[in-house]
Structure 1
Amino acid sequence: MDLDRSPSQMAAEAASTVRALNHRTRAAGDDWQYPGDAYNVVGNLSELAMMLPQALEQISRLLADLNETGRLRSDKGTLDQDLGEALHGLGEAREAAQQLYSALNRAHSGLGPIGVEM
């Protein structure tokens, strides 16, 4: 794990990796042709979704801490409204990530026994 990069850089790399995954899974290939391949990808995506709520909570905590110290401002002059929107959105995102994890976990379990007849 490379902790020398900023959280923003790490999130950008994660987004880039998912974008590459989307391109790579568009058509079958040597390493993308069996249910076991889907099982592995879904398992890894499930793990990613499982970790998202913690990251989102830590973003919320940073904003709350900065607000408590009076270090935040809004370019629009509506800090309370803007911060409320941001924190509300992050809370909804946490819930959605938890639902995503649950759905991916079910899909992963369902893929477990599926194979290909030769």
Structure 2
Amino acid sequence: MDLNRTPAAIANVAAEEIRALNHRTLDPKAFEQPSDVSNVVNGLAMLTERLEQAINQTGSGLRQFHDRNAIRMDDGSNVDERVAVVAQELLSAQIALGALKDHLRAAASPLSHMGSPWDDDEDGAE
């Protein structure tokens, strides 16, 4: 884990990795086994959990600037009002992310029991 990058650089790399996932999964053959689908869903669920913390900590960063009166607006709008809008939107994003996380976990549960059919010479018994 390279922590010498800026938070923005890290977020942009994460976005590019999701873009790569999107392109890779355009091909239906990208998934060789049902467990591959399960692993991706579990990875996306983990991503949502980590995004929740990232959103919270990013909002804290903005609040620190605001508390030090270290923000100016280049459009003449009121700093306090705009910071309040950002805080509310980040909170809304966290709430929405919580629902997404719940849905991904619900999808992951049955996926964890899925596998490819047995070969013709196997009956599933040991």
Inter-partner Cα distance in structure 2 for 1:51 and 1:90: 14
The aligned counterpart of 2:98 is 98
Question: Shift of residue 55 of structure 1?
Answer: 0.7
Q: Which amino acid aligns with 2:75?
A: K
The Cα offsets for residues 4-32 of structure 1, whole Å up to 9 and x where unpaired, read as 11110000000000000001011233x51
Are 2:25 and 1:25 equivalent residues in the alignment? yes
TM-score, normalization by structure 1? 0.92
The aligned counterpart of 2:4 is 4
Inter-partner Cα distance in structure 2 for 1:53 and 1:73: 27
The aligned counterpart of 2:113 is 113
For structure 1, list consecutive stretches of 5 or more residues without a partner in the other structure.
none
Are 2:64 and 1:69 equivalent residues in the alignment? no
- Number of equivalences: 117
Inter-partner Cα distance in structure 2 for 1:52 and 1:93: 10
Percent identical pairs in the alignment equals 34
Inter-partner Cα distance in structure 1 for 2:99 and 2:10: 23
Backbone CA RMSD of aligned residues: 1.3
The Cα offsets for residues 55-98 of structure 1, whole Å up to 9 and x where unpaired, read as 11111111111111111111122212221211111111111111
| Residue pairs, 1:14-93, within 5 angstroms | 14-29=14-29, 32-78=31-77, 79-93=79-93
For structure 2, list consecutive stretches of 5 or more residues without a partner in the other structure.
120-126
TM-score, normalization by structure 2? 0.86
Inter-partner Cα distance in structure 2 for 1:53 and 1:62: 14
